[in-house]
Amino acid sequence: MLEIRPLKLTDFHRLHSSYDKLGSGKHFIDLYWLGLKHISLKWLLAQGGLFGSTSPLIRAILSRIYYKSVSFSVIAIEDGKILGHCFAILRDKQSDGSFIAEYGIWVSEESRGKGLGLKLTQKIIEIASSYGAMSGIRLYVWENNPGAIELYKKTGFKQHKVIKQDKSFGDKKFDTIEMYLPIVSGTDKKKTALFIANGIDENNPGVAGGETRFIEIAKGWSSRGLIIHLLSSKGGYKLCTDFDLKVTPHYIRPTTSSGRSDFLYKSFYSMFLPKSLTGSKIDIVYSTNEQIYDVLPGFLLKIKRGKSLKWAVVVHWLPPYKWWGRKQSTFTNSFLFLVSERISLYIACLFADRILAVSDSTRDQIKNDFFAKFFIKKVGAVKCGVNFSDMKKVSDRVEEKKYDAVFLKRLQAVKGVFDLIDIWETVIKELPDAKLVVIGAGIDGEEARKRVLDRGLDKNIIFRGAIYDFETKVRELASAKLFLLPTYEENWAIAIGEAMAASVPVFAYSLPELDAVWGDNYCGIKLGDKVSFADKLISALKNQQILDNMKSKALNFVRGYDWDLISAEELEQVSKTP
């Protein structure tokens, strides 16, 4: 049965054997020890690029080393015998970053006149066009080959120019006709963006800053006409649905583990792309996090589809090389986190089209990395934001401050959930009726609840879990007198901006990353100083004037961070990547 398909590495020997029959023996070397005869050294080197291009990974590497070695090949094969071979090799790079490929074809003598050349040509055009950054395909044909010229015209090629007296056959000289086929870029079609968010829990999806950020960016892109796809767990799909984001879901294999071992399973399963992505048209791949389980799928798609898509990786924060110095994290966990983050970053440096550093401080971290600094040109700083006008409308309707304080963050040791309990225990010694509401979910949530119960603090510390409804979340924020965030590691901290937009003063450990974003619009306390933190809270709760001054200043500051503007700027960064 005749089959027209892309060339595979396993076709290597059969194709060489077919080409052996074409050799004249002149200026050829005899590689008998390889079982190959009549192959020129130059031709052999060319075939290295040809067959290397059959592997998406090698093709991606070749395109960065020497793009003229990248090729696309299809063959016609029947009963194990190759009857024809058609290829397109990248030749000229245009000013806009696109390529012109050069076409070539061979059909066995006994198979000519049966329409095989037409089928091969149509297939190579289809494959080359899917590369994305292809502006056109050119070919050269002798003027005395009317059958070939007619075939090329059927597939869309048009005469571009004539090279006079270029070829000779015996005593006769012939013109060479250059023909050209422009590739339609598809810019007039709706683009599709795939957001990769594999870190979201299958059954209990939490709402941290990273989740809020990608959902708001996706909403902004959707409003600008992009079709949004999501690669995540079923929990991720539920989260998007709860936040009124319409997506086409693709599911990563669910894990049965919990806690920190879940990271290892997700990282492993992320190497296997769901079949639903096979036929999906994707223009932009957006890894929402620098974690390995969000980067690997983007890498695999980039390798498989090449220039046909843009791949962007969001980097929120990079752990320090002195991993043993991290607070609220074990030696082993910190080391594994460092290794996985750096592997992800370096993959992004080598293969991603754009790296989106969340804040200038994160971009500086990348710039100072011994390897990543060589790729700093593809790194752009981006922002986080708030839905200021919508949040203010809801918060203005809240009349009662039923909580003294609110915490909104992932329930994890490094985000300060255990310091939070210690701090509030000190506060209620001075203010026995003071109430703290905790909003969020995370791997240390169960342990946090246990500590609260063991210490008899359950009347003063209320766990609300993750809140997905926008208005409910804003009302809970606005129902508190102040917002506290004793986090040890942070970048932008979207929750701080949300608290400010809800007219709630912010108290947090002072971190360079927070100072760079929020300046003096929050009250910073020395890292790890839980006693001073509690004292600041007590003083503020006893003096309404302190809270009013902080609220007014922060509210004016946060007006400038709007998600719609930020999503538009980010789309422009990704789209304009060469």
Residue with tokens 């059954």: 203
pLDDT average, residue stretch 442-446: 90
| Neighbour count for residue 482 (Cβ, 10 Å) | 24
The whole-angstrom separation of Cα 220 and Cα 546 is 36
What sign has the CA pseudo-torsion 113, 118, 119, 121?
positive
If pLDDT is split at 50, 70 and 90, which confidence band does 24 have? very low
The whole-angstrom separation of Cα 192 and Cα 187 is 11
Structure letter (DSSP) for residue 522: S
What pLDDT is recorded for position 300?
93
The whole-angstrom separation of Cα 484 and Cα 367 is 31
Residues 6+ apart with CB under 8 A from 347: 295, 296, 299
Pairing relationship of beta strands 3-6 and 506-509 according to DSSP bridges: unpaired
DSSP three-state, residue 495: helix
What pLDDT is recorded for position 182?
87
DSSP three-state, residue 94: coil
pLDDT at 50 over 80: no
pLDDT at 12 over 80: no
What dihedral do alpha carbons 196, 198, 199, 204 form, nearest 10°? Answer: 120
DSSP string covering 548-572, please? HHHHHHHHHHHTT-BHHHHHHHHHH
pLDDT at 368 over 90: yes
What sign has the CA pseudo-torsion 179, 183, 188, 189?
positive
What pLDDT is recorded for position 187?
45
CB 81, CB 3: distance < 8 Å? no
The whole-angstrom separation of Cα 316 and Cα 309 is 23
More confidently predicted of 62 and 80: 80
CB 486, CB 508: distance < 8 Å? yes
pLDDT average, residue stretch 457-469: 93
What pLDDT is recorded for position 186?
47
Q: In 3D, which of 314, 292, 312, 296 has the Cα closest to residue 304? A: 296
pLDDT average, residue stretch 505-524: 94
| Neighbour count for residue 348 (Cβ, 10 Å) | 29
Query: Quick check: do 192-385+566-575 and 390-558 share a fold?
Result: yes
Burial of 167 (0-12, 13-18, 19+ CB in 10 A): middle
The whole-angstrom separation of Cα 323 and Cα 302 is 31
The whole-angstrom separation of Cα 69 and Cα 53 is 8
DSSP string covering 214-261, please? HHHHHHHHHHTTPEEEEEE-HHHHHHHHHTT---EEEEPPP----TTH
What pLDDT is recorded for position 451?
97
DSSP three-state, residue 578: coil
The whole-angstrom separation of Cα 351 and Cα 299 is 7
CATH C-level class of 192-385+566-575: alpha beta
pLDDT average, residue stretch 108-134: 84
pLDDT average, residue stretch 397-406: 94
**Average pLDDT taken over every residue of the chain:** 86
Structure letter (DSSP) for residue 345: H
The whole-angstrom separation of Cα 503 and Cα 556 is 10
The whole-angstrom separation of Cα 341 and Cα 290 is 7
pLDDT at 563 over 60: yes
Please state which of the four CATH numbers 3.40.50.720, 3.90.1150.10, 3.20.20.80, 3.40.630.30 is assigned to the domain occupying 3-182.
Answer: 3.40.630.30
CB 96, CB 131: distance < 8 Å? no
* CATH node for 390-558: 3.40.50.2000
If pLDDT is split at 50, 70 and 90, which confidence band does 351 have? very high
Residues 6+ apart with CB under 8 A from 255: 202, 262, 265, 266, 269
The whole-angstrom separation of Cα 28 and Cα 24 is 8
> 192-224: per-residue pLDDT in tens?
999 999 988 887 776 777 888 999 999 999 988
What pLDDT is recorded for position 174?
80
If pLDDT is split at 50, 70 and 90, which confidence band does 565 have? confident
Q: Note the pTM of the prediction, 2 decimals.
A: 0.64
What pLDDT is recorded for position 79?
87
How far CA 271 is from CA of 233, 297, 300, 304, in Å, comes to 14, 6, 8, 13
Show me where the domains of the chain are located. 3-182, 192-385+566-575, 390-558
CB 475, CB 439: distance < 8 Å? no
